[in-house]
């Protein structure tokens, strides 16, 4: 429910001399996933039942050379991903970003930012579309957070911002400075409130993040450590 954020956020901005009608959370959910040959997927009951391998040896070659991320998409994966993107467009999901990820056969897609409730619904639709389209291309799509040991897991990175009804991103200092007529104190106060909220309610954030799959992924490879921290940038 975004009502408390909107109510208290508009109250704070009014005290700072900047009146808006409402404030709502925007998110952009990146979705990482693996594409593996479906014939091999059918030979692994653990993958079929749990979405991850629970036994077996490590691959003879992993991501040590860091050459997968920057490489071109192979034709089979490209055809599958292009159809996924097309199907999402047909459903009104603006899936723009598509690229390889660090681990072998790992990829990522990401939509435009949108309101939190809409983005969550659309992400569920995207995962369903990926699963169905991959099957048509002889592939299996693995969206589980840690399907393979020894290589990167797949994150669903949640890029969050707070927007006003006038289209101002409250986490963008330039936009806030312009919208408030050059008031330099508004953005630091907003950031202070957010940092305070993360510090005060970190336990609730960890509770919402923790899951059996994510616990395997966190604290290793590219994943963040299993703590909640805030980074304010270099500027």
- Tens digits of per-residue pLDDT, 68-121? 888 888 899 999 999 999 999 999 998 888 899 988 999 999 998 899 999 999
In a domain, 89, yes or no: yes
The whole-number average pLDDT for the span 156-182 is: 93
Is residue 213 assigned to a domain? no
Predicted pLDDT of residue 224: 61
pTM of the model: 0.88
CA atoms within 13 A on the CB side of 80: 29
Please name the residue that has the structure tokens 């305070």.
196
* Strands, E assignment, the chain: 23-29, 31-37, 95-100, 106-111, 114-115, 139-142, 158-164
CA torsion, ordered 100, 154, 118, 226, to nearest 10 deg: -130
In a domain, 226, yes or no: no
3-state secondary structure of 52: coil
Residue 224 is assigned to a structural domain of this protein: no
**Domain ranges, residue 111:** 31-156
Read off the pLDDT of each residue in 148-176 and give the average, rounded to a whole number.
91
Spatial distance between the Cα atoms of 48 and 208, rounded to a whole number of angstroms: 26
Interval 81-95: pLDDT, tens: 999 999 999 999 988
Examine residue 166 and state whether it is found in any structural domain, yes or no: no
Rounded mean pLDDT of 13-28?
94
Q: Is residue 182 part of a domain?
A: no
Signed CA dihedral, 100, 104, 105, 109: sign only: negative
Please give the pLDDT value at position 64: 75
Domains of the chain: total: 1
CATH of the domain at 54: 3.30.590.10
* 6 part of a folded domain: no
Give the C-alpha separation, 7 to 235, whole Å: 30
In a domain, 231, yes or no: no
pLDDT band at 137 (very low <50, low <70, confident <90, very high): very high
Q: What confidence category does residue 196 fall into, taking pLDDT thresholds of 50, 70 and 90?
A: very high
Burial label for 235, CB within 10 Å (0-12, 13-18, 19+), is exposed
**Would you place residue 214 in the very low, low, confident or very high pLDDT band (cuts 50, 70, 90)?**
confident
């Amino acid at each position: 429910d975004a009502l408390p954020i909107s109510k208290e956020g508009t109250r704070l901005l009014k005290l700072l001399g900047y009146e808006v009608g409402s404030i709502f959370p925007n998110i952009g959910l990146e979705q990482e996933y693996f594409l593996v040959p479906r014939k091999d997927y059918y030979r692994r009951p653990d993958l079929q039942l749990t979405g991850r391998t629970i036994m077996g040896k490590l691959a003879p070659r992993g991501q040590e050379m860091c050459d997968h991320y920057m490489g071109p998409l192979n034709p089979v994966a490209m055809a599958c991903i292009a159809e996924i993107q097309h199907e999402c467009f047909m459903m009104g999901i603006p899936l723009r970003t598509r690229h390889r990820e660090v681990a072998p056969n790992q990829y990522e897609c990401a939509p435009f930012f949108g309101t939190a409730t809409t983005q969550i619904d659309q992400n569920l639709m995207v995962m369903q579309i990926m699963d169905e389209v991959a099957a048509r291309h002889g592939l299996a799509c693995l969206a589980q957070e840690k399907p393979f040991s020894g290589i990167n897991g797949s994150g669903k990175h949640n890029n969050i911002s707070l927007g006003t009804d006038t289209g101002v991103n409250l986490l963008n200092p330039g936009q806030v400075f312009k919208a408030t007529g050059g008031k330099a104190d508004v953005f630091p106060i907003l950031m202070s409130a957010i940092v305070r909220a993360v510090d005060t309610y970190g336990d609730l954030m960890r509770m919402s993040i923790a899951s059996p799959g994510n616990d395997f992924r966190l604290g290793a490879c590219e994943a963040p450590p299993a703590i909640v921290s805030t980074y304010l940038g270099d500027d």
